[in-house]
Amino acid sequence: MATISDVAERTGLSKATVSRVINNHPYISKEKRELVYKAMEELGYQPNPSARRLRGQLTNTIGVIVPRIVNPFFSYLVDALEQVAYENNYQVLMFQSDEKKDKELYFLNLLKTKQVDGLIMTAIENEREVIESYTRFGPILFCNEYLSQSEIPVVRVDQSKAAYIGTKHLLDRGYRKIAYCTGGLFVDDGKDKDRNIGFQKALNDHQININTAWVFINKHTIEDGRHVMRQIAGMNEKPDAIFTGSDEIAAGVILEAKSLGMKIPEDLAVMGFDDQPIAEMIDPALTTIQQPIKEMGTISVDMLLRLLKNQPLDQKHKELSVELVIRSST
């Protein structure tokens, strides 16, 4: 591997001058500049990122933490983030938290040890204070998930409205006994709380109380959905509709319902969330809430790059809108 000294030697210049050429400093004669470019080309020289980082330079890497990449919502989100990052000459270091605090901490330390310039967090496991303590090492951005009391910038969709229009749709169709499925364990903050609020508001509009037996927490996967359906099947008083936290849960509910001989939506209307490819694929096709994933990714990277360049943000809290996609499951 050629080093900057090799380039300096070949051109008869000093390392300092070569470095200036590389970094586009002013006051370099055109003549020397071209000499350096030529030598770099000939030697196949590429600056060593570790050495640059050591001098406090940027790494041109942003970290993205997701709960699980196999969840299509997040793989599409990472896809979008990576595309935009690449266009801006940034790499993405992807990391799964697996919903574990220690993995998230390991990840946050990448910022501390300057392995990434900034972080995009699409999941939050640790306490607010812990995460905020890392902001002194570099910019952090919440994407999708967030903490309401935090000063950390956020890009997210209006989850409360999303849940509201979803639930309202079920109510408009005449369903009154609505079950509710959420991903959160403790729904005391962030997107799950917002969804809760939207759901409650819609019910309140119709003077309906939530039946706590019909509330399922910490559900994420297809298997979780199947499990929920089995629980419902075993109930004396069954709901006539279910609002789920993701298309995957909804798909699980439908699959299990079918194997139990139930009809969707006649016996149970099912509402998804995300509008993943499976929403169209499953029979009956899922009514669901479409999230602007590509847009979230684009805006998130843009905002983070702004923070990295110390440019001002027009808003610290960017809220995107969602759309109801009506298909056959409701």
Partner DNA sequence: TTGTTTTATGAAATCAGTTTCATAACCATC
Partner DNA sequence: GATGGTTATGAAACTGATTTCATAAAACAA
Cβ atoms of 117 and 59 closer than 8 Å: yes
User: What number of helices (H) and strands (E) belong to the chain?
Assistant: 13, 12
For residue 44, the minimal CB distance to DNA (Å) is 11
Residue 95 binding partner per list its own copies, DNA, none, with a CB distance cut-off of 5 to 8 Å that depends on partner kind: its own copies
For residue 255, the minimal CB distance to DNA (Å) is 52
Q: Which two tokens stand for residue 196?
A: 């809760």
For residue 121, the minimal CB distance to DNA (Å) is 25
Q: What does R_g of the chain's alpha carbons equal in angstroms?
A: 25
Q: Which two tokens stand for residue 215?
A: 């509330």
Applying CB under 7 A, the residues found at the interface with DNA are 1-5, 12-17, 19-20, 22-23, 26-29, 31-32, 45-48, 51-52, 54-57
Candidates 9-17, 34-42, 201-209, 281-289; binding stretch for its own copies (CB under 8 A) = 281-289
For residue 47, the minimal CB distance to its own copies (Å) is 8
Residue 93 binding partner per list its own copies, DNA, none, with a CB distance cut-off of 5 to 8 Å that depends on partner kind: its own copies
Residue 14 binding partner per list DNA, its own copies, none, with a CB distance cut-off of 5 to 8 Å that depends on partner kind: DNA
DSSP 8-state assignment for residue 151? -
Of 3 and 211, the one with the shorter C-beta distance to its own copies is 3
Residue 126 binding partner per list its own copies, DNA, none, with a CB distance cut-off of 5 to 8 Å that depends on partner kind: none
> Which residue type is seen at 226?
R
Cβ atoms of 289 and 126 closer than 8 Å: no
Residue 83 binding partner per list its own copies, DNA, none, with a CB distance cut-off of 5 to 8 Å that depends on partner kind: its own copies
Binds its own copies (CB under 8 A): choice among 23, 42, 51, 206: 51
Q: Which two tokens stand for residue 292?
A: 């602007």
Under rule CB under 8 A, residue 99 binds its own copies: no
Under rule CB under 8 A, residue 222 binds its own copies: yes
Those residues with Cβ within 8 angstroms of residue 21's Cβ, 6 or more apart along the chain or in another chain: 28, 32, 33, 36, 37
Binds its own copies (CB under 8 A): choice among 35, 84, 92, 242: 92
- Give the other-Cβ count within 10 Å of 36's Cβ: 24
DSSP 8-state assignment for residue 269? E
Sheet of strand 118-121, all strands in order from the earlier edge strand to the far edge = 91-96, 61-66, 118-121, 140-143, 154-157, 317-320
For residue 1, the minimal CB distance to its own copies (Å) is 7
Cβ atoms of 228 and 257 closer than 8 Å: no
Candidates 34-42, 85-93, 170-178, 191-199; binding stretch for its own copies (CB under 8 A) = 85-93
For residue 43, the minimal CB distance to DNA (Å) is 10
Q: 185 — phi, psi (to 5°)? A: -85, -55
Beta bridge partners of 325: 288
Cβ atoms of 230 and 208 closer than 8 Å: no
| Chain positions contacting its own copies, by CB under 8 A | 1, 46-51, 53-54, 68-70, 72, 75-76, 78-79, 82-83, 86, 91-96, 98, 103, 109-110, 112-115, 137, 222, 248, 251, 255, 277-278, 280-283
